[in-house]
Chain A
Amino acid sequence: MRLRTRTAYAFLTPYLLVFLTFWIWPIANSFWLSFLNTRSANWTFNPRMTWGRLLVDPAFANALWNTLLILVIQVPVMIALATVLAVLLNSPILKARGLFRFAFFAPVVVGEVAYAAMFRLLFNEFGIINKLLVATGLASIPWLSDPNAAMAVIIIALTWRWAGYNAIIILAGLQSIPEDVYEAATLDGVSKVRQFFYITLPLLKPVIVLCVVISVIGTMQLFSEPFLITNRGGPGQATETLGLFLYRQGFGAFNFGYASAIAYTITALAVAISLLNLWLGKERE
């Protein structure tokens, strides 16, 4: 090995050691773990207790269903909302633009626990949301004790937290579309609405696909909101997500083998859905 190369590796060694110990080794080891029965004193090879259980465990099916439900409802709603927000934030007639951009981005920098506590207060039985509902003549909703309402709270909270973040990414995409393309369309007699659907949206497609992929990955790992806002996936297991189920199996029941299998399943699903998105978003000649 040439001296220069050796020196380079010498400098990289501390990092590579940390990387191997805390990244590669856990990933490899958890894969091996996912084939072991970790419920007995002596861990034995028994994939039926882990991968096999995934297929028949109603709790896993419930968590998977909940996660996919959030994914299917929350991601499209949030991305649509983010796109509208981005267009509004990009409007030349908007005053105090910097303030608005900051305001919509701010939820991302708020600590998870603080924001979860806020949402618990807002959607508390006697919280401001119910007060507003009653004040407008509607019935109050048992947000945190009704399964469907609890799911709605999770979706609302997620949307509040991430819509602005995605809007800023989409805004960057919007600003990369040259103004003269719109001027050309104006001269072509194309209305503003049609310009949005025939020019803006198609040109934003790569950015929107990126946002969808990021959101899908985030949703597949969803943990904090159901853990903190709906009190560990409650009521019952109504808002238990895959991430929460993994946590319960791994660190509640100490069933590391099963938890590892769940972790690999989450990753595989996230990769599969993301690839599907990328494939759908690909430009076809």
Chain B
Amino acid sequence: MAAVSLNNVVKKFGTMSVVHGASLEVADGEFVVFVGPSGCGKSTLLRMIAGLEDISAGEIVIGGRVVNDVEPAERGIAMVFQSYALYPHMTVEQNLSFGLRMNGNDKADTQRRVSRAADILRISELMHRRPRQLSGGQRQRVAIGRAIVRNPQVFLFDEPLSNLDAELRVQMRVEIARLHKELGVTMIYVTHDQTEAMTLADKIVVLRAGNIEQIGRPLDLYDDPNNQFVAGFVGSPRMNFMAGTVVENSSSVVTVKLANQGGALLRKPLGGPLPAIGAAVVLGVRPEHFGLAGRGDSDITVKVDVAEHLGSTSYVYANAGGGEELVIEREESRHEASLDRMTVSLRATHTYLFDSAGLRLR
């Protein structure tokens, strides 16, 4: 087992920089998830830790050892690929044992490790099949098994569930969480799916365009995002954003006018420096934070477009005519969702204010 740290890691392809100096500490035994949209550099970062990509600048440390120039096989890591990357011409057993056999590992030990991995992943009855005779979920297990037999200090997962159907994805997600608990090994996991990130991670690293936007525990990111990107990326359905203008700022309180929501005014106390009058800001509200009419600090009335009833909750897709679509979560009063128009309230403490650059105003 080992801790991993990245110090100012940079990756350039030619003159194009794709990771601009990432620094990060992963504690021993921690489950860290890199999350972000396509092309944000999360996979590149993982591949640099694996040694499949060179590092243009900076330093990667695994288990107290700088591994910049260490061969991938010597880094004490194992990786599970998105496409599984199984050896198509080998049986499951040969897939699991290939690396050990090629490195002259003791036969009995290889056998022992392979059957242990097979037991953990419950694939013992598949040992003599070839990858093409397996289902997606089974292939994924074999790919994980191939990582387990290496007894790695760090597991790396590169979008391991994205080729599976929704149901299997949930099932494998639980399996991976179980595996982490059982093995207690450091795991670094890349995904673009924020649900996977929220459910699996001890710590989430949100990336955008080669920069780390925020690092934190899942609920900390959810409750206290540093910027509009993180606020929008974490949470499903995503946070609603409403354009606003500062119309008053005095004694640690700003008043924001929501132009697209019928000019509703919301007074929000802030701890830091106040934005100037006339400054454009963005107000963020999570779907579950819309209250009943008259019960908050400000009311807005919206036209209901569509309502989705999921049983315990309903999602109302609504707009106030200004082009801003809002998603409103309702747990009770289902009838409300069948209305043409509805009025909901905003509570200042359950809103997030961002400046025009997307940075959070606290």
Contacts and interface: CB of A to CB of B under 8 A. Distances in A.
A187 B89 contact: no
A199 B85 CA distance: 12
B98 A188 contact: yes
A283 interface: yes
Contacts of B78: 187
B102 A180 contact: no
Interface in A184-213: 184-191, 194, 198-199, 202-203, 205
Interface centre among A178, A184, A202, by most chain B C-beta atoms within 10 angstroms, is A184
Interface string B143-157: 000100010000000
A213 to B, nearest CB: 20
Interface in B65-99: 71-74, 77-79, 81, 83, 85-89, 98-99
Interface of B: 50-52, 71-74, 77-79, 81, 83, 85-89, 98-99, 102-103, 146, 150
A156 interface: no
Contacts, number: 63
Nearest to B83: A180
A203 B99 contact: no
Contacts of B102: 188-191, 194, 198
Nearest to B103: A189
A183 B73 contact: no
13 contacts: A178-B85, A181-B85, A181-B88, A184-B85, A184-B87, A185-B99, A186-B72, A187-B99, A188-B103, A188-B150, A189-B73, A189-B99, A283-B89
B70 to A, nearest CB: 12
A245 B69 CA distance: 64
A240 B65 CA distance: 69
Given A189-B73, A198-B102, A184 B79 contact: yes
Nearest to B81: A180
A203 B88 contact: yes
B146 A184 contact: yes
A26 to B, nearest CB: 43
B73 A188 contact: yes
Contacts of B77: 187
Q: How large is the interface on A (under 10, 10 to 19, 20 to 34, 35 or more residues)?
A: 10 to 19
Given A183-B52, A186-B73, A178 B89 contact: no
Contacts of A202: 89
A53 to B, nearest CB: 47
A229 B87 CA distance: 46
Interface SS of chain A: helix
Contacts of B51: 187
A198 B95 CA distance: 12
B79 A199 contact: no
Contacts of B86: 181, 184
A180 B74 CA distance: 18
A191 B99 CA distance: 10
A187 B155 CA distance: 12
Contact of A190 (B85, B99, B146): B99
Contacts of B79: 183-184, 187
A86 to B, nearest CB: 18
Nearest to A188: B99
A136 B52 CA distance: 46
Interface centre among A178, A189, A202, A205, by most chain B C-beta atoms within 10 angstroms, is A189
Contacts of B99: 185, 187-190
Given A194-B102, A203-B89, A187 B50 contact: yes
A194 B99 CA distance: 11
B54 to A, nearest CB: 13
A189 B102 CA distance: 8
Contacts of B146: 184, 188
A205 to B, nearest CB: 8
A283 B72 CA distance: 32
A209 to B, nearest CB: 14
A205 B88 CA distance: 12
Contacts of A186: 52, 72-73
A283 B130 CA distance: 11
B87 A181 contact: yes
Contacts of A187: 50-52, 72-73, 77-79, 99
Nearest to B102: A190
A208 B327 CA distance: 58
A277 B83 CA distance: 32
A185 B86 CA distance: 9
